[in-house]
Amino acid sequence: MADGDRGEYAIETRGLNLWYGDFQALYDVDLEVKRGIITSMIGPSGCGKTTLLRTCNRIIERLGYVRTTGSVSILGHDIFADGVELVQVRKRIGMVFQRPNPLPISIRDNVLFGFRLHEARLRKVSAAEEDRILESSLRQVLLWDTVRDRLDRPATGLSLEEQQKLCIARLLPVKPEVLLMDEPCSALDPAGTEAVEELIWKLRGDYTILIVTHNMAQARRASDECVFMLLGRIIEHGRTDEVFLNPESSETADYIEGRYG
Amino acid sequence: MFTATTLNRRSQRAQGVARAVFFLMTVTLVIPVLIIAGTLVVKGGPAISWEFLFSAPRDGMTAGGIFPALVGTVWLVAVALLASVPVGVAAALYLSEYAPDNLLTRTINLAIINLAGVPSIVHALFGVGAFVLFFNIGASILAASLTLAVMTLPVVIVATRESLQAVPQAFREACWNMGATRWQTIRKVVLPNSISGILTGVILEVSRTAGETAPIMFTGAAAFVAFLPNSVLDQTMAMSYHLYYIATQQTGVPEEIPFGVALVLISIVLLMNAISIGFRVYLRGLKKW
């Protein structure tokens, strides 16, 4: 953003309401996500976690029948304001999906896809610079040693775990501030889950991470703060250990103990 | 304990009858194809020679070959493709990648379906009215090809749209989330992964266009033209119209000539279909997901 980052929070929503047609999915959501930490969102299916996540980069609008009121600010800037360029928003806010979705091109082209889209059209980029970016991005996601010999092979040939890491790696070259993750481990086996969690923990500090999860154990061990949502409302938001050990609301307690889900 | 009961046997018998009936129906479907192909080869085969393919008709079309008609068909198909492929592919891209699901889009889809259902003779009359008379192009390759293009447009649109929609939505989402515009997404991901299907559709369109008679008979095809076409404003002979003409409008044509023409025409169409199938199989092998 031209006039720089500001504000204490990476993501801040105020009185956010969202409707899918006649169905209201979010009610007066006030959420503050601190910079540089991992915030997890938990709650039963259909509680609005994914909706809220997808509102943060305005990807939700593509459905066409979505209406919102209230505001969402990213790094202190209202992304619903007039004159906001969605391409710029999405450049600063990377998104990782439930199912890894590498493009059917080589590993190299996948990692450099966003970079070429945004940077390489403004100036001449040397092959050496591309290689440097490629290596550092893949190193950051702990994938470099695995794929360094097959960078020009199709990305779709990787294992799901590697694909998911690649999907994170390809966000990094455009220097995002926020990473939104929508159940990034739910398609992975336990070993893959552990590896990707480890990676997410490693990215903590460099990026603000908002992660939706169904896996309570994952929220508990791999996040700093935890948001519990129910029926489109935020019920509780606090430090993860406190939410899990001393939930303020009885609904949170019931959910955490597995009385519903 | 596992022996068949009366009920089992009755079910098995019914199942056997059903199977036999369906098989017979399937065979029935193949029989006409074999008879047509067989008749054409037997009766038209003797007419086929290099001279037949590469010389003009002589003696009031009772002798000689079909070269001007072959060339004319190539012209008609080529110009029709030039007109219909860009329009059809662009329309399909809009409908598949951009169009919101609203009344306008649904109306357009309905129009495409209806356009596909319009009888070819109606297209012919439209071609005469619109291209030959209103735009004053006159009976010519251009007018005939445009008529063919309008007629085959739904084929191109539907085939293209289907292959676009076969590209997984996840690829598009991946691109959009990295800040790609729709056009960048189309260019870098959607088109490269759907081009095989689009080309297959185009090849099928070629075979359809080559065989049509009605749309060209008033708009640009002539029974006999002594020279090969020089430009799209010339009239031309065409395989399908030539066959119609010598089979019904001309007396004293030896039997093997119309059969020979039919054999060549059907060979072109089958060849095109075969290429299209082969191409599809080949490109499917290349797909990376």
pLDDT tens-place string over residues B31-74: 998 999 899 999 888 888 888 888 887 777 777 778 888 888 88
Q: Would you state the pLDDT for residue B270?
A: 87
User: Which of A203-207, B12-16, B204-208, B282-286 comes out lowest in average pLDDT?
Assistant: B282-286
Domain assignment of residue A127, yes or no: yes
Q: Which two tokens stand for residue A106?
A: 């080589």
Which of A97, A99, A117 is nearest residue B184 as measured by Cβ atoms?
A117
Kindly determine whether residue A59 and residue B176, on different chains, have CB atoms separated by under 8 Å. yes
Q: Would you state the pLDDT for residue A3?
A: 55
Domain assignment of residue A2, yes or no: no
Q: What is the mean pLDDT of residues B264-287?
A: 82
pLDDT tens-place string over residues A197-226: 888 888 888 899 999 988 888 888 888 899
> Quick check: A150 contacting B, CB < 8 Å?
no
- Domain range enclosing A138: 9-256
Q: Which two tokens stand for residue B98?
A: 């951009």
Q: Would you state the pLDDT for residue A4?
A: 63
A225 and A213 Cβ atoms separated by less than 8 Å:
no
DSSP state of B106: H
Domain assignment of residue A95, yes or no: yes
Q: Is A226 exposed, middle or buried (0-12, 13-18, 19+ CB in 10 A)?
A: buried
* Nearest Cα residue in chain B from A112: B178
User: With pLDDT > 70 as the criterion, what percentage of chain A qualifies?
Assistant: 96
* Nearest Cα residue in chain A from B187: A117
Residues of B with CB under 8 A from a CB of A: 100-101, 168, 170-171, 173-181, 184, 188-189, 193, 287-289
A130 and A178 Cβ atoms separated by less than 8 Å:
no
Domain assignment of residue A203, yes or no: yes
pLDDT tens-place string over residues A91-100: 889 999 988 8
Domain assignment of residue A225, yes or no: yes
pLDDT at A1 over 60: no
> Mean pLDDT over all residues of chain B?
87
pLDDT at B106 over 80: yes
Q: State which of A216-220, B148-152, B203-207 shows the largest mean pLDDT.
A: B148-152
pLDDT at B91 over 90: yes
Q: Would you state the pLDDT for residue B146?
A: 92
| A164/chain B closest Cα distance in angstroms | 12
Residues 6+ apart with CB under 8 A from A108: A134, A151, A152
Q: Would you state the pLDDT for residue A2?
A: 45
Q: What is the ipTM of this complex?
A: 0.79
**Distance between CA atoms of residues A46 and A78, nearest Å:** 26
Q: What is the mean pLDDT of residues A115-130?
A: 82
pLDDT at B289 over 60: no
Q: Would you state the pLDDT for residue B99?
A: 87
**Phi-psi bin for B192: left (phi > 0), alpha (psi -120 to 50), beta?**
alpha
The Cβ-side half-sphere exposure at A36, using a 13 Å CA radius, reads 3
Chain A contact set for B178 (CB, 8 A):
90-91, 94, 113-114, 117, 170-171, 174
Kindly determine whether residue B289 and residue A156, on different chains, have CB atoms separated by under 8 Å. yes
| A237/chain B closest Cα distance in angstroms | 27
pLDDT tens-place string over residues B120-147: 899 999 998 888 889 988 888 899 999 9
The CATH number of the domain where A158 resides is what?
3.40.50.300
Q: What is the mean pLDDT of residues A117-122?
A: 80
At A261, the pLDDT band (50, 70, 90 cuts) reads low
Q: What is the mean pLDDT of residues A107-116?
A: 89
**Distance between CA atoms of residues B218 and B58, nearest Å:** 24
Q: Would you state the pLDDT for residue B288?
A: 55
Q: Would you state the pLDDT for residue A227?
A: 92
Other CB atoms closer than 10 Å to residue B194's CB: what's the count? 22
pLDDT at A250 over 50: yes
* Nearest Cα residue in chain A from B193: A104
Exposure class string for B98-126: b at 16+ Cβ within 10 A, else e = eeeeeeeeeeeeeebeebeeeeeeebbeb
Domain assignment of residue A47, yes or no: yes
Q: What is the mean pLDDT of residues A26-35?
A: 90
- Residue B198, SS3 per DSSP: helix
Q: Is pLDDT larger for residue B62 or for residue B266?
A: B266
Q: Would you state the pLDDT for residue B1?
A: 79
Residues 6+ apart with CB under 8 A from A220: A226, A240, A241, A244
Q: What is the mean pLDDT of residues B260-270?
A: 89
> Mean pLDDT over all residues of chain A?
86
pLDDT at A259 over 80: no
pLDDT tens-place string over residues A128-178: 888 888 998 998 888 888 888 888 888 888 888 889 889 999 998 888 889
Superfamily of domain B51-286 in the CATH hierarchy: MetI-like (1.10.3720.10)
* Number of domains chain A is built from: 1
Q: Is pLDDT larger for residue A178 or for residue B279?
A: A178
pLDDT at B26 over 90: yes
- From residue B34, alpha-carbon distances to A23, A201, B203, B208 in Å are 59, 68, 24, 20
